[in-house]
Amino acid sequence: MSVNATAQKVAEAIIPPHLNWLEQKWNGWYDYMNNDTLATGILLLVLHEGIYFGRSLPWLILDAMPSMRKYKIQDNRPPTRAEYIECLKSVITAHTFVEAVPIFGFHFVCELFNIAYRAPFPSAWTVIWQLAALFLMEDTWHYWGHRALHSKLLYKPVHKMHHKYAAPFGLTAEYAHPIEVAFTGTGTVGSPLLLAYLTGDMHLFTVAIWISLRLIQAVDSHSGYDFPWSLCHWFPMWAGADHHDDHHHYFVGNFASSFRHWDYFLGTETPATTRRRDTGKFTAEERHEIVEDPDDIADRAKTSGVSGKTTTARRVKA
Ligand SMILES: [Zn+2]
Ligand SMILES: [Zn+2]
């Protein structure tokens, strides 16, 4: 336990702060565990697994409902049972061997960056502005990192795995090479650490809400569903599922995670995304066409000895 946490505990014993129900339960968890490192680790592990799989489940149910097919962006490629199983196995492996270790080391990092972890929680205003800042910070990290992952050096050995599913579904959000999982996780966890370093004011409660919202955003953006009531239709800066679905569909463009501004201002939107901004509607071609990975086209050209332009995505018949 850090000096700060000990001082806080002593202060609480002398003048107990007024804590609401959730704050009492939060502190009760740490008191019950009597091991802050383990308490934070278990809290974050349960949160991560619960949100990731809990949020993926409704999309899986929707995939089994033919009446929902009209909302599926690429409605001609519903995920198969084998794809679900393969994806699930890979995600569980990554969660166990790549993410669990840093999760249990996170309490140590909290103490290093002076992140408070006992209640009282910060004010609602502090939580809200910090969450907005974290979304913008992570989106920036993701945009530039994702562009780097599409470089010749990193695409084939690292990022190509995530592009296995050209028509993504919720569970594919973390279907990725371990290096990419670590890279994405660095943006998600590194953002609150940077904000804690810059402001000296960060609470684990805010970090927990942030991680939950970021996971929901990641799963939803891979869901493959666009509804008339989806967030991006009344908050146009929000990327939403159609933005990232286009990235998987066309293999290039739309590199950001949560927002549209980076791709819009730097001209990296897919033509379909740009066109939909005016019409708001998908064309039959955008919903049905199959586009081949430029990397596969380049590989084939290399082995067959054909030279020329080989890195442009090519539309092929379904
Ligand atoms: Zn990509
Ligand atoms: Zn993706």
For the ranges 115-129, 252-266, 274-288, 295-309, which has the lowest average pLDDT? Answer: 295-309
pLDDT of residue 262: 98
Distance 138 CA to ligand 2 centre (A): 15
- How many CB atoms are closer than 10 A to CB 169? 25
φ, ψ dihedrals at 114, nearest 5°: 55, 40
> 9 C-alpha vs ligand 2 centroid, how far in Å?
43
What is the residue extent of each domain of the chain?
3-314
Residue 279 Cα to ligand 1 midpoint, Å, equals 25
The pLDDT of residue 189 is 95
CA 81–ligand 1 middle distance (angstroms):
24
Residue pLDDT, tens place only, 171-219: 999 999 999 999 999 999 999 999 999 999 999 999 999 999 999 999 9
Task: For residue 141, report the distance from its CA to the centre of ligand 1, in Å.
Answer: 14
> Ligand 1 centroid to 27 CA: how many Å?
41
48-81: per-residue pLDDT in tens?
999 999 999 999 999 999 999 999 999 887 888 9
What does the mean pLDDT of the chain come to? 90
Token pair of 236 as six digits: 């146009």
Who wins on pLDDT, 150 or 295? 150
C-alpha distances in Å from residue 55, one per residue of 71, 199, 216: 18, 32, 6
pLDDT in tens, 269-291: 999 999 998 887 888 888 888 88
Task: Report which residue type is found at 264.
Answer: Y
Task: Give Dmax over CA atoms of the chain in angstroms.
Answer: 79
pLDDT for the residue 310: 44
What does the pLDDT read at residue 315? 58
Six token digits for residue 247: 């990235």
pLDDT of residue 311: 47
CA–centroid distance, 222 to ligand 2, in Å, is 6
Torsion sign (Cα): 122, 123, 126, 127: positive
Say how far apart CA 209 and CA 202 lie, in whole Å.
12
Q: What percent of the chain has pLDDT over 70?
A: 90
218 CA from centroid of ligand 1 (Å): 13
Quick one: average pLDDT of 23-43? 96
CA gyration radius, the chain:
22
pLDDT (0 to 100) of residue 37? 96
Q: Show Cβ contacts of residue 265 under 8 Å, excluding neighbours closer than 6 positions.
A: none
**Nearest ligand, CA 257:** 2
Burial of 267 (0-12, 13-18, 19+ CB in 10 A): exposed
